[in-house]
């Protein structure tokens, strides 16, 4: 047997040979539209901070006040002695924001999916997921032991076929059937047909979990997410989201019935066996939820759509429906995408190349994200940078 170091070196070499090696880049500035990497000032088109809240004074102040009042750490898991007042306040704010009976917060979106799906399902059950759902949902599905079936991206016919198969199975105890999708997809920025999926799950006696990681704060009258915009929120049993994207903090949550939340407190292992989030991030998330619900939140949403409109007009990318702050620029080849990203950095523009395993092999892309904090000037730089880097814009969606 090789030593651990030998084994890992071989595997790293294979990763490099495929053009898939990744390394961390230390960012020397706060998170925002202007960042500094390795001494270079860059305009940042890579973050999920769609409303520009990550470095917003209201969130920073809330975090500082929480540290002063509750300290730096949370001491233990929530079920021991770590269930601090801010955690309860956050969950009340989340339930009120989303219009559900109750909510439960987790330390990350990843932990949310993992804890929730493994609590709900076991090996007798069936989980049906969209082909493009986030890795945390795929990992959770596998860990749950349930039979995993994948439907083609946003393909209702394929989903229906799988539901018919699931319903045809005979067993002493009928399997639980859970459908999981995102609302706005993280790497493509397109939307799931939630109304139609809700109709299907009702026709076929399945439950539905929707991950609104990239939609919370951006869609619907009260900016609750795409489910609100499409009028189906109260037909979705399990509403998941994250606190680290448009909400500018970090963490994840489930909103739903009090029964669901009680059950998760008792059975979600990533919740039970993990130290509670620290007061600072929890307080920042509360401040973000308050801000998103205020007039300022509506102004920020308008601003982000205005900037998306500017980018699309200047790059001749057609408007998508619904509009989305995620604009993928398809490249295909991994090395080519890396080259383009490097050339963009030379022009002072940071747009990450997204490669396998984040997207499929040969589907590498530049993933451009727009924030309300971008200025028209930032967008001019982006457009100039893309042109100077020789970026083609063929498959604009
Ligand atoms: C980012 C993301 C997650 C994970 O959330 P974290 O808080 O970053 O762990 C889950 N689902 C989707 C769709 C995401 O984009």
Q: Tell which one of 50, 132, 134, 187 to mutate to probe ligand 1, the residue whose CB is within 8 A of the most ligand atoms.
A: 134
Dist. CA 132–CA 262, nearest whole Å: 30
Alpha carbon nearest to ligand 1 atom 3, residue:
109
Dist. CA 322–CA 309, nearest whole Å: 12
pLDDT tens series, the chain, 397 aa = 999 999 999 999 999 998 889 999 999 999 999 999 999 999 999 999 999 999 999 999 999 999 999 999 999 999 999 999 999 999 999 999 999 999 999 999 999 999 999 999 999 999 999 999 999 999 999 999 999 999 999 999 999 999 999 999 877 889 999 999 999 999 999 999 999 999 999 999 999 999 999 999 999 999 999 999 999 999 999 999 999 999 999 999 999 999 999 999 999 999 999 999 999 999 999 999 999 999 999 999 999 999 999 999 999 999 888 999 999 999 999 999 999 999 999 999 999 999 998 899 999 999 999 999 999 999 999 999 999 998 877 544 4
Alpha carbon nearest to ligand 1 atom 6, residue:
109
Q: Can you give the pTM of this predicted structure?
A: 0.96
Which residue has tokens 């005979």?
Answer: 170
Element (H, E) at 195: helix 194-203
- Sign of the torsion angle spanned by Cα atoms 41, 43, 46, 52: positive
Element (H, E) at 286: helix 279-293
Which residues have a catalytic role annotated?
48, 134, 182, 186, 211, 214, 245
Nearest 5°: CA angle at 216, between 212 and 218? 125
Element (H, E) at 15: helix 4-17
Alpha carbon nearest to ligand 1 atom 8, residue:
109
Task: Give the pairing of strands 326-332 and 364-369.
Answer: antiparallel
Say how many Å lie between the CA of residue 170 and the centre of ligand 1.
35
Which candidate, 289, 270, 294, 286, places its Cα nearest to that of 86? Answer: 286
Say how many Å lie between the CA of residue 289 and the centre of ligand 1.
17
């Amino acid at each position: 047997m090789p030593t651990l170091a030998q084994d890992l070196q071989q595997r790293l070499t294979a990763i490099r040979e495929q053009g898939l090696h990744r390394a961390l880049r230390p960012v020397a500035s706060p998170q925002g539209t202007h960042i500094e990497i390795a001494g270079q000032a860059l305009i940042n088109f890579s973050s999920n901070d769609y409303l520009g809240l990550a470095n917003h004074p209201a969130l920073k102040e809330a975090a500082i006040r929480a540290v002063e009042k509750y300290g730096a750490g949370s001491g233990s898991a929530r079920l021991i002695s770590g269930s601090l007042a801010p955690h309860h306040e956050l969950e009340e704010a989340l339930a009120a924001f989303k219009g559900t009976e109750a909510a439960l917060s987790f330390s990350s979106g990843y932990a949310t999916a993992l804890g929730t799906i493994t609590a709900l399902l076991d090996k007798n059950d069936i989980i049906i997921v969209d082909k493009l759902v986030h890795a945390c949902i795929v990992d959770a599905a596998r860990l749950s032991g349930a039979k995993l079936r994948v439907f083609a991206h946003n393909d209702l016919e394929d989903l229906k076929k799988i539901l018919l198969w699931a319903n045809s199975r005979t067993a002493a105890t009928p399997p639980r059937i859970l459908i999981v999708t995102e609302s706005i997809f993280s790497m493509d920025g397109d939307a799931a047909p939630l109304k139609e999926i809700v109709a299907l799950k009702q026709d076929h006696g399945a439950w539905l979990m929707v991950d609104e990681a990239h939609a919370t704060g951006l869609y619907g009258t009260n900016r609750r997410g795409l489910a609100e915009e499409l009028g189906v929120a109260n037909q979705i049993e399990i509403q998941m989201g994250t606190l680290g994207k448009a909400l500018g903090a970090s963490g994840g949550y489930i909103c739903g019935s009090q029964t669901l939340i009680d059950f998760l407190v008792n059975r979600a292992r990533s919740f039970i066996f993990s130290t509670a989030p620290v007061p600072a991030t929890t307080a920042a998330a509360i401040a973000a939820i308050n801000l998103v619900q205020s007039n300022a939140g509506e102004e920020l949403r308008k601003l982000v759509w205005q900037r998306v409109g500017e980018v699309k007009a200047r790059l001749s990318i057609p408007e998508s429906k619904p509009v989305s702050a995620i604009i993928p620029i398809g490249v295909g080849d991994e090395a080519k995408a890396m080259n383009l990203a490097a050339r963009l950095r030379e022009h002072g523009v940071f747009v990450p190349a997204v490669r396998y395993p984040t997207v499929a092999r040969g589907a590498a892309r530049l993933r451009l994200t727009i924030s309300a904090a971008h200025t028209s000037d930032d967008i001019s730089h982006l457009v100039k940078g893309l042109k100077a880097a020789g970026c083609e814009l063929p498959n604009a969606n």
